[in-house]
């Protein structure tokens, strides 16, 4: 019986691959999720933490380099600026307004049956735009205006992000213990959609 030697592990990606192969990226994504979740604990640091997570995924996609926790933490520290912290107030403010509107709808106001799905769609749309914003790089980093423009210009990518948010919400509802892991897949999805949009724009 002829012995076939095991193929050495590839250090770089094959042409056409966006991210690396195997389970290494999956493990890195979960690790990034935990580290990002810890960095998000002060709440106002969430945009900076998610932006740093997207940056390490983007660097892996571009150069095939291994994800390192030190690079992620350095990215978070570099993004903890006053404008970024001010933008960090937007998600909790939006969440409070959403809960208040939900309570008003539950109180039996006229038109609640129509407004409830509208409110849900607005929340999903805002979450998708938020993910677009944290995935932006360069001069557009954390730009809400650019994120909204790209969301409108790329409805398919926006739909993918909405699906990612819905899936994350279902996983959180079914297994709350997964909360520390969810920032990783969400940042991964946001980065992949942004890279896809950039590639289509260059081809166009």
Distances (CA, A) of 118 to 111, 114, 154, 178: 11, 7, 21, 28
Span of 136-140, 154-158, 167-171 with lowest mean pLDDT: 136-140
**pLDDT tens, position by position, 58-68:** 988 877 677 88
Span of 31-35, 91-95, 131-135 with lowest mean pLDDT: 91-95
The average confidence (pLDDT) of the chain is 84
Distances (CA, A) of 83 to 44, 72, 91, 127, 140: 11, 20, 14, 20, 13
Spatial contact of 134 and 124, defined as CB atoms under 8 Å apart: no
Structure tokens that stand for 140 in this block: 């557009």
Looking at residue 176, its pLDDT comes to 93
Question: Is the pTM above the cut of 0.95?
Answer: no
**pLDDT tens, position by position, 68-118:** 888 899 999 999 999 999 999 998 888 888 888 777 777 777 766 777 788
Query: Measured between alpha carbons, how far is 45 from 171 in angstroms, rounded to an integer?
Result: 23
List CB contacts of 30: < 8 A, sequence separation 6 or more. 181, 184
The size of the chain, in residues, is 204
Give the dihedral of Cα atoms 172, 174, 180, 185; nearest 10 deg.
Answer: -70
């Amino acid at each position: 019986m002829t012995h076939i030697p095991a193929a050495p592990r590839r250090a770089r990606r094959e042409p056409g691959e966006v991210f690396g192969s195997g389970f290494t990226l999956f493990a890195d994504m979960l690790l990034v999720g935990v580290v990002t979740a810890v960095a998000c604990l002060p709440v106002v640091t969430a945009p900076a933490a998610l932006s740093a997570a997207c940056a390490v995924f983007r660097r892996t996609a571009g150069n095939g380099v291994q994800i390192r926790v030190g690079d992620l933490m350095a990215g978070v520290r570099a993004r903890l600026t006053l404008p970024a912290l001010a933008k960090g107030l937007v998600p909790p403010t939006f969440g409070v307004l959403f809960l208040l509107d939900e309570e008003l709808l539950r109180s039996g106001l006229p038109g609640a049956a129509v407004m409830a799905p509208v409110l849900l769609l607005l929340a999903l749309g805002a979450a998708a735009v938020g993910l677009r914003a944290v995935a932006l790089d360069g001069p557009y980093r954390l730009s809400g205006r650019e994120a909204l423009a790209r969301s409108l210009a790329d409805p398919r990518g926006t739909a993918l992000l909405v699906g990612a948010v819905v899936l994350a919400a279902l996983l959180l509802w079914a297994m709350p213990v997964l909360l520390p892991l969810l920032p990783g897949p969400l940042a991964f999805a946001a980065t992949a959609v942004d890279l896809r949009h950039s590639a289509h724009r260059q081809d166009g």
